[in-house]
Amino acid sequence: MPELPEVETVKRTLEHLILHKTIKAVDVTWDNIIYEPSVNEFKKRLCDQSIQSLDRYGKYLILNLDHDILISHLRMEGKFFYYEKAHPRNKHVHVVFKFYDGSELHYHDTRKFGKMNLVSKNIDLFTDGPLKKLGFEPFDPRADADYLSSKLKNRRISVKQALLDQSILVGLGNIYVDEVCFMCALHPATTVDLLTRDDLECIILNAQKVLEKAINLGGTTIRSYQSNVGVTGRFQNELLVHMRKDQACHICKTSIVKGQVAKRGTYYCPHCQKERL
């Protein structure tokens, strides 16, 4: 499940592979991957546009083209494969970008959860476009305790759910939310109305920390992430609680527990992360 660091890794890898290439044709074999516009318009408009630059916001990958912006969200299992020459399509490949130099970029998505949006460059992604509902990145100086406090006002959801909510902060998914909760000694089910100002500052600080460290290690590779674009994640060796059920907490040696919070598989240390009631 690609979160901010994994998408950043994909973005950096793709920059070396497809920057300045011009699209000759696009094949789409699973229509629901394309959120907007219609599949026919999507394919047609992409033709003859070149990749001017790549960007990322939260977990969204952004390709700046000549006239449009292509936004790709990998959701659970989306990944890219790049080939120098025409390559047979794997059964889980649903979108193929063919470039004029003969190379191809294949979008592979086992569960077909990923989405692509194509929007005009004339619209502002953050005020009118598909990213308008998103919150700040944890690195953003505007993402301070006051900001979080205002976002959480009148809300009684769990910390886990709040950190998964991309309209509050972008970039954290199930893995890194568990890590941040542990680093802040917060039980993931603690409701946000019980958080102190210190907790909010701690959350921002540790979200920055965990994301920066994961980016530097190329992201987290859980299971065999067989993409040839962004494969080398090593952060899985640094995880403090996620995927560590029954293993010793690094602080107190208590066994890490896996439970359900906000309907998500959630790992935490029952000793270091006491729930507040």
Partner DNA sequence: CTTACCTCCTGCCCGC
Partner DNA sequence: TGCGGGCAGGAGGTAA
Residues that bind DNA (CB under 7 A): 1, 30, 32, 58-59, 73, 75-76, 92, 110-113, 115, 130, 133, 153-157, 164, 166, 173-174, 260, 264-265
- The Cβ-side half-sphere exposure at 176, using a 13 Å CA radius, reads 34
Catalytic-residue membership of 3: yes
The answer to whether 129 and 64 are in contact (CB under 8 A) is no
Based on CB atoms, which residue is closest to DNA, 43 or 258?
258
Q: Are strands 115-120 and 68-73 parallel, antiparallel or unpaired?
A: antiparallel
Residues 6+ apart with CB under 8 A from 156: 191, 192, 193
2 is catalytic: yes
Pairing of strands 115-120, 264-268: unpaired
Closest CB 270 distance from DNA, rounded Å: 19
DSSP symbol at 264: E
Q: Out of 12, 24, 209, 264, pick the active-site residue.
A: 264
**Is 59 noted as a catalytic residue in this protein?**
yes
Alpha carbons 87 and 89: distance in angstroms, whole number: 6
For residue 258, give the 3-state DSSP assignment.
strand
Residues 176 and 56: their CA atoms lie apart, in Å, by 18
Sign of CA dihedral 12, 235, 178, 224: positive
Q: Give least dist CB 266 to DNA, A.
A: 8
Q: How far apart are the first and last CA of the chain?
A: 32
Longest dimension (CA), the chain: 61
For residues 60 and 82, which CB has a smaller minimum distance to DNA in the complex?
Answer: 60
Choosing from 11, 45, 56, 59, the catalytic residue is 59
15 has catalytic annotation: no
> Catalytic residues, which ones?
2-3, 59, 264
